[in-house]
Every structure is written in structure tokens, then in C-alpha cells.
Structure 1
């Protein structure tokens, strides 16, 4: 049995990873998405209140401060259906960017 050379393996791995790396997360795009969709019910930062102030939806700052909040946890949440939230259909890029934005709201210590 003949084994592939290390350079061949590196080329294969690099080619497989290229599509995933083509589009990185963008917290600024996540904020724009939050300002257009999420602000109806959520306070999206310290300065921007929810349009429906009676909404019981948590503020994104409060979500970011939860010990359990990670980018992965937010991504899983956004890919799941929730009774009290609209079923937005977001692209993977939008989910990644919105997750990066929310996690970025955690105060620096």
C-alpha cells in the first residue's frame, strides 16, 4: 500500500478548509442585523432600547454576561426554534456574525 506524501496531505487539508475560511465573522454585520431584526424585542446594546419596551426578551448585554454564554451556545440557540421568538431564517454568516457581536458585548475586565 502506498501512502500519500505529507505535502499532498497538506494540500488536501488546505483545500478542504478554504471554503470555510472564505467568509469570516463580522461583529459589525452582526450589530447591523441586530439593529434591523432583533431590536423589535431586545435591547441590542447599552444605548439602544427595544422598540417594544414591554417585551420580556432579555437584553443582549445581559445575555453576553451569562456564564453559560459562548459563541457556540448562541449559534446553537439561533439555529433552534423557540416559541416566543420569530423563526428567522439566517445564513451561517449571519448567525456567526450575530453570535460574535453578542459575545463581544461582554464587558472587558
Structure 2
């Protein structure tokens, strides 16, 4: 994981376990669709994939596997500009859905 992602996640770390579906901040299916549209060019987004893409961006599964990754940590990450990422401006609903998709991968590494 890049130092920037680690720092943003570390600042917002609260500890986490697998997130039940009813506790997700948005719709994970819509979040996956958003990831296909915006993120897949650099990130592997599918459940169980842990090998980074050709641009060495962390996989969504690797992000979800990190115990420091919580809803708050991801919200902080999406609020912070990142030098190695395009300056995407997702709506609040899109952020919630992306976060829900990433959190839905926690505790389900093999899909």
C-alpha cells in the first residue's frame, strides 16, 4: 500500500472486523459498478484478487484486508488529494457506494 494511503488510513484508524451488509454506508453493487467505470484502469477490483495491477496500484481486496480500513478511514482517503491518483470528484452517494463495495470485501477473501 502506498505511503499516502497508509497515512490517510492510519489517521482515521478505528479498528474493524467484517462489516455486516446492513452496516454498509451505501450500495455495494452500485459501488462495484462505479469501480468498473472509474477505478479498474489502475486497480484490480474483484473479490479475492491480491496481486497488484500493472501500475502497482493496490487491489480493492488488499485494501479491504487491511485491518485499519474502516468506513471513516476510506472517507478520509477520498477527501484527501493523492499525487498518484486522478483527481476524481465522486458525489457523496458515489463515495458511500464505493466504500460499501470495498467494505463488503472484508472477511470474504475468496469470493
- Structure 1 length normalisation: TM-score? 0.69
Query: Structure 2 CA distance, aligned partners of 1:48 and 1:100?
Result: 18
**Which structure shows the higher helix fraction?**
1
Q: Which residue of 2 aligns with 1:33?
A: 34
Q: Which residue of 2 aligns with 1:74?
A: 74
Higher CA-based Rg: 1
- Structure 2 length normalisation: TM-score? 0.68
Displacement after TM superposition at 1:47 (Å) = 7.0
Displacement after TM superposition at 1:107 (Å) = 2.2
Query: Structure 1 CA distance, aligned partners of 2:53 and 2:65?
Result: 21
Q: Which residue of 2 aligns with 1:61?
A: 61
Query: Structure 1 CA distance, aligned partners of 2:33 and 2:45?
Result: 10
Stretches of 4+ moved more than 2 A in 1? 46-49
SS at match of 2:68: coil
Query: Structure 2 CA distance, aligned partners of 1:35 and 1:108?
Result: 19
SS at match of 1:30: helix
Corresponding residue pairs, total:
85
Query: Structure 2 CA distance, aligned partners of 1:55 and 1:104?
Result: 24
Q: 5+ residue gaps in structure 1?
A: 1-23
Displacement after TM superposition at 1:55 (Å) = 0.8
Q: Which residue of 2 aligns with 1:42?
A: 43
Cα offsets for 1:83-104 (capped at 9, x unmatched): 0000101100000110010011
Q: Root-mean-square deviation (CA), in Å?
A: 2.5
